[in-house]
Amino acid sequence: MTESKEKPEIGHVDSTIHYNIKGNELIDIIEHRNNEKYQRLGGIHGLCELLNVDEKKGIALNSITKRVQQFGNNLLPPAERQKCSSNIDTEPPDYYEGIAILVAVFAVSLIGAWNDYSKQSKFIEIASKETDCSVKIIRDGVPMESTSSQLVVGDIVYLSVGDVLPADGIYLKGNGVRIDESEMTGESASVKKSEDNFVCLSGCTVTDGNGTMLKGYVNKDKQRPTPLQERLDELAENIGKMGMFCAAVVFIVLTLWWFYKAITFTGYVQPDDHCKLCSPTETNNCVAAKFNWWRITDLVDYFIIAVTIVVVAVPEGLPLAVTVSLAYSMKQMMADNNLVRHLKACETMSNATCICCDKTGTLTENRMSVTNIWIGNEVMEVDQTNKIPITGELLHHLSVNIGINTSLSSNITSSNQAIGNETDCALLLFLKKIAMSPSLIRSTNTISRQWVFNSENKRMDTVSDNCIYSKGAPEIIIGESMYYLNQNGEEAEFYEDQKDQINQIIDQWENKGKRVIALSYKKMEEKEFQEWNNTQSNEKINIKNTCLLAIVGISDPVRLEVPHAIDSCKNAGISVRMVTGDHVKTALAIAKECGIVGECQIIDKNYNCSGNVDIAMMGKDFSLLSDEDVDRILPRLKILARCSPQDKQRLVERLLISGEVVAVTGDGTNDVPAFKEADVALAMGLRGTDVAKQAADIVILDDNFNSIVKAVIWGRCVYDNIRKFIQFQVTVNIVALALCVIGSICQMGSPLNSMQMLWVNLIMDTLAALALGTEKPTTDLLKRKPFKRTDSLLSKQMLIKIAIQVTYQLGILLTILFFGSTFKFISAPCGYISTIEDYPGKEYICNDNKKHTIIDVQEDTITLQTIIFNTFVFCQIFNEVNSRRVNGETDVFKGIFTNYIFIGIELLQIIVQTSIVIFSGATFGVKPYPGISLTQWGVCILLGLVSLPLGLLNGFFKEKLTNKTISVFDIEEVEMKNNKKSDNDKWEDEKINCTEENNDFDKAFETNSDEISLTMN
């Protein structure tokens, strides 16, 4: 088949022409369901010919560039970023403080807009990676994995249950393919695909069957949903109310002071010069002075101060801190194989107390291989060298069963690389080992009907030439077998004693952690087959008296890093439970090797167990227990095997009711109900279906349990970073508000003016969010228990640290405010003497017992204000270092030099503050150039520096009690149900004696590095 060189018809919209079909024609066929055009072009076979697609081999690899040139790639336009300037509020502020206020407000708005733009860019980047899902295709006859963005028009895409269609396309062929199109059409029932109903729409989900589709054209006019950006403002609102109250108090008090002075004003001036003061006791020529009512404009200044207090008090930096920390962590977590889809998951994962985990691929390597086989009533071991003596009818039926009774998307490349379901691939590799080609088997045997594997039926069945081939759980397949195929290829009667012997073999394999699969078949005559086939539903097969072909043992080694990761979870107060579809003995063997259980007992529905050991249970027995019985065994239930999706969902529900914060792993469509129940849903990125990934909060890209532990570490890091910011901001807020309120009441003026408070607001919001929100995780994060749902945000240790800092900072600032003029080293003897009624020329006796003019009083007052402002800012700069620790740690410098953002922001704050005090003068209401003296600088820095060692006092008050925290993510409180006490003393005693997780946090996760290695072992 050669590339067409004919020119297309007039009006062709595609810029570069290689194929005799337009992109718009494909859009018309798929989106407008134009069946007439579809048939006119020759149906699916005609389209394949026009697009030069081999229906069996797919497209040629050397045609990809031409397809991209003519039709484009499979990428939709990314969400449009808003311009940075559009994030700035265009409404001008009230023009009362002049150019300085305008510049300050513009600067704050510009920084906020830049932050919004930066956040939006990061979320768009992350969203683009999230939507670029993995797909299975065939090109040049070679099955391969690709990504949705690399698909081109004409690609043949494999469809399996749970897949979300990566593009619009046309159904090619398959077995019972049904697609849920409810999101596009509103129809709740799944639609069966056929030659007549051929349209496959992007974003729809495959609910049944398997097959292939021809990838169509991308309509570039489609819109992506906007990036998810969680907003958190409840805490900000509560703190803001306090700020508004303080602002109202300041404005009212200053206004009352102004009117009081205006009403009680008494002053005398000389009759010939009203600007010269005089005293009536000295001369009778004095006349009463009039109050300057033009000074009513002072009330405008008071109003500006009140508004600025509100601006400072409202912690708009809290959502920024959360978003910065999440955006930073999400990007870092990508390198750690964690794709965070929902922001809330980071914080929730930090407080997870229980992880319900799959076995295959998560705890194990998902590198399956057949190691043992029972066939022809003989047991053989399989290795990489020996040849398996299988011939005749045994070889025929075994090869056909494995070849066609596996998913179409599962394939083995020429280099023996597995693509698709690992269990199927292990069987296909075994098929190649016995010198049979899977592709040849599939091409020479026609599939007339198929029931795909699901976790409820635990089997897969395929019909070919009136013969039903089955594979699945041994207890199911053996239970329906009446015969077995012997070495001579003859069907021999299958006696009970033989079944007992086989079950003993299966037990041996399962006790070694092997997955065991049984294969069987049943041949029917045409009439018998038709009668049987007409009675079968599409959901579940009903078959009896089959012939057992073989039983295979499949080995999947435990990941080397998993035992250490499990141990880290235990030390971090997190319980790990294995929830698997494998047999309970297989699960138990793997669980012991991983370290999930020590001494463990398998129990049934009668829950006969003894002692304080862990419990393993089969799903069928678990489903028969009452909720009360489940709650009794829950603390010790560590393995739930052969479980259905309903069992998994119920386990999660009972764990939630018991007060656990539950994370659940899953990879299939049937895991979605459990995902919806869980606090955090973790989907597997390699083997997980698209439905599972879309329902998940976090996608584990490498399917490795070690990556889940890293998600816990990063979650705790994010949560602690938010608490660090809140601890810092609450301290700044309380000190600033108290200083303004007390100063206004007692000194008739706020010690901090509006410009100074805007700078303070910038420090404690934007800059603090960047500095504290980008702290990296440390090993200490796995040395504490998770926080409970009912805990409060501010722990006792944090409250003690805040109280110490507030007491000290407010104490020294009020001391300077009230008594600063008495300290000789401050050199401001006339500071803070009210001059509201004064005229030029009035003399004052200040704290140095000398006469001073009003000019001296104003200069000294500005000096004290500058010292207060400077000391306050340096207290925050040094306290920001203290805020790096929120759990009672004393080493606040640990890891500080690895956080370059924090160091950079600290230096930036020092440089800007120094420049403001020296050069800004009247703009910021500080002492004009060159500013305060070196001695006064030393006082400010020294007083600010004291904030640093004060943080160590918190170590003396360190509590051993569990810290209490509140979710800042507005997590809805889960109603806790009180477990009723049972009258059964045996169960009550066992409940009391349940073993607890090892909480020896001092020995947890020992490592020589201060920071956790975030790369794969």
Cα–chain center distance at 855: 60
Looking at the predicted structure, is the pLDDT value of residue 811 above 90? Answer: yes
pLDDT tier at 483 (50, 70, 90 boundaries)? Answer: very high
Q: What radius of gyration, in Å, describes the C-alpha atoms of the chain?
A: 37
* 358 is a catalytic site residue: yes
* Contact between 753 and 868 (Cβ < 8 Å): no
pLDDT at 201: 81
Summarize the confidence of residues 754-772 as an average pLDDT. 82
Greater model confidence, 18 or 312: 18
The top-scoring range by mean pLDDT among 124-133, 219-228, 591-600, 833-842 is: 591-600
Residue 501: pLDDT band by 50, 70, 90 thresholds? very high
- Report which of residues 594 and 300 the model is more confident about: 594
Q: What is the pLDDT of residues 923-974, one digit of tens each?
A: 888 888 888 999 999 999 999 999 888 877 765 555 444 344 333 333 333 3
Mean pLDDT of 611-631: 89
CB 695 within 8 A of CB 681: yes
Cβ burial of 282 (10 Å; 0-12, 13-18, 19+) is: exposed
* pLDDT (0 to 100) of residue 276: 52
Contact between 643 and 579 (Cβ < 8 Å) = yes
pLDDT grade, residue 449 (50/70/90)? confident
Please compute the mean of the pLDDT values over residues 450-470 and round it to a whole number: 86
Q: Confirm if 874 and 757 have CB atoms less than 8 A apart.
A: no
Helices (H), 57-143: 64-71, 99-131
Residue 979 has pLDDT above 50, yes or no: no
Kindly tell me if the per-residue pLDDT of 532 is higher than 90: no
Higher-scoring residue by pLDDT: 851, 333: 333
pLDDT category of residue 990 using cuts at 50, 70 and 90: very low
Q: What are the start-end ranges of the E strands in 667-762?
A: 680-684, 698-700
**How would you classify the pairing of strands 515-523 and 546-555?**
antiparallel
Residue 232 DSSP symbol:
-
> How large is the average pLDDT for residues 73-81?
59
> pLDDT value at position 448?
84
Cis previous bond, 563, omega within 30: no
- What's the confidence (pLDDT) of residue 617? 92
Work out the mean pLDDT of the chain and round it to a whole number.
Answer: 77
For residues 670 and 661, is the Cβ–Cβ distance under 8 A? no
Does residue 506 or residue 147 have the better pLDDT?
506
According to the model, what pLDDT value does residue 93 have? 39
Structure tokens at 292: 């300057």
Neighbour tally for 547: CB within 10 Å: 19
Q: What is the per-residue pLDDT for 384?
A: 55
What is the pLDDT at residue 227?
Answer: 28
Specify which of 199-203, 236-240, 274-278, 1013-1017 reaches the highest per-range mean pLDDT.
Answer: 199-203
User: Would you place residue 482 in the very low, low, confident or very high pLDDT band (cuts 50, 70, 90)?
Assistant: very high
Burial class (CB in 10 A: 0-12, 13-18, 19+), 478: buried
* Closest CA relative to residue 667, chosen from 335, 339, 357: 357
What residues are paired with 459 via a beta bridge? 472
Of residues 966 and 591, which shows the higher confidence score?
A: 591
- From CA 972, how far away is CA 789, in angstroms rounded? 9
Q: What percent of the chain has pLDDT over 70?
A: 75
Let me know: does 397 contact 436? Beta carbons within 8 Å. Answer: no
pLDDT above 70 for 107: no
> pLDDT at position 473, please?
92
At residue 483, φ and ψ (nearest 5 deg) are -130, 170
Percent of the chain with pLDDT over 90: 18
> Angle between the 934-945 and 854-882 helix axes, to the nearest 10 degrees?
30
Report residue 55's pLDDT band, with 50, 70 and 90 as the boundaries. confident
Strand (E) positions, 182-340? Answer: 191-192, 199-200, 205-215, 268-270, 273-277, 287-288, 338-340
Residue found under tokens 């008739």: 748
Whether residue 78 is predicted with pLDDT greater than 80 in this model: the reply is no
- Which of 387-396, 441-450, 479-488 is predicted least confidently? 387-396
Instruction: Provide φ and ψ at 581, rounded to 5°.
Output: -90, -5
Structure tokens at 269: 């001036």
Question: Average pLDDT, stretch 352-358?
Answer: 92
- Are 618 and 625 contacting, i.e. CB atoms less than 8 angstroms apart? no
Pick from 699, 791, 774: nearest CA to 326: 774
Integer Cα distance of 594 and 675 in angstroms: 24
Domains of the chain: 23-76+107-215 (2.70.150.10), 235-337+713-979 (1.20.1110.10), 369-555 (3.40.1110.10), 559-703 (3.40.50.1000)
By mean pLDDT, which of 370-374, 535-539, 686-690 is the weakest?
A: 535-539
Determine the longest span between alpha carbons in the chain, in angstroms.
Answer: 141
Identify the active-site residue in 358, 461, 720, 780.
358
Please say if the pLDDT value at position 918 is more than 60: yes
Helices 496-511/584-594 angle, 10° precision: 20
Q: What is the pLDDT of residue 939?
A: 93
Strands 637-641 and 614-618: parallel
Query: What angle (nearest 5°) sits at the alpha carbon of residue 537, between those of residues 531 and 540?
Result: 115
Whole-angstrom Cα distance, residue 360 to residue 377?
29
Residue type at 540 in one-letter notation: K
> So what's the pLDDT on residue 1016?
32
What is the secondary structure of 790-826 as a DSSP string?
T--SS-HHHHHHHHHHHHHHHHHHHHHHHHGGG-GGG
> Is the predicted pLDDT of residue 436 greater than 70, yes or no?
yes
Residues sharing a CB contact under 8 Å with residue 140, sequence separation 6 or more, in sequence order: 57, 58, 59, 60, 61
Q: Of 277-281, 374-378, 518-522, 926-930, which gets the smallest average pLDDT? A: 277-281
Q: How confident is the model at residue 1005 (pLDDT cuts 50, 70, 90)?
A: very low
Q: Convert the pLDDT of each residue in 139-172 to its tens digit.
A: 888 888 888 778 888 888 988 887 888 888 888 8
Task: Using pLDDT thresholds of 50, 70 and 90, give the confidence band for residue 182.
Answer: low
* More confident position, 991 or 871: 871
- pLDDT band, very low/low/confident/very high, at 112 (cuts 50, 70, 90): low
The strand pairing partners of 457, in sequence order, are none
Once rounded to an integer, what is the mean pLDDT over residues 214-237?
A: 49
pLDDT band for 779, please (50, 70, 90 cuts). confident
799 neighbors 730 (Cβ within 8 angstroms): no
Contact predicate 7/17, CB 8 Å: yes
- Residue 737: Cβ within 10 Å count: 21
pLDDT digits (tens, 9 = 90+) for 255-285: 887 777 767 666 555 555 545 555 555 545 6
Kindly indicate the confidence band of residue 79, based on its pLDDT and cuts at 50, 70 and 90.
very low
Cα–Cα distance for residue pair 150/68, rounded to 1 Å: 9
Please tell me the distance from the alpha carbon of residue 363 to that of residue 703, in angstroms, as a whole number: 9
- Report pLDDT for 856: 80
pLDDT-derived band of residue 315, with 50, 70 and 90 as boundaries?
A: low
What value does the mean pLDDT take over residues 821-830? 85
Residues sharing a CB contact under 8 Å with residue 14, sequence separation 6 or more, in sequence order: 8, 22, 23, 70, 71
What would the DSSP string read from start to end of 433-453? HTT--HHHHHHHS---EEE--
pLDDT of residue 988: 36
HSE value, Cβ hemisphere, 13 Å, CA-based, for 758? 23
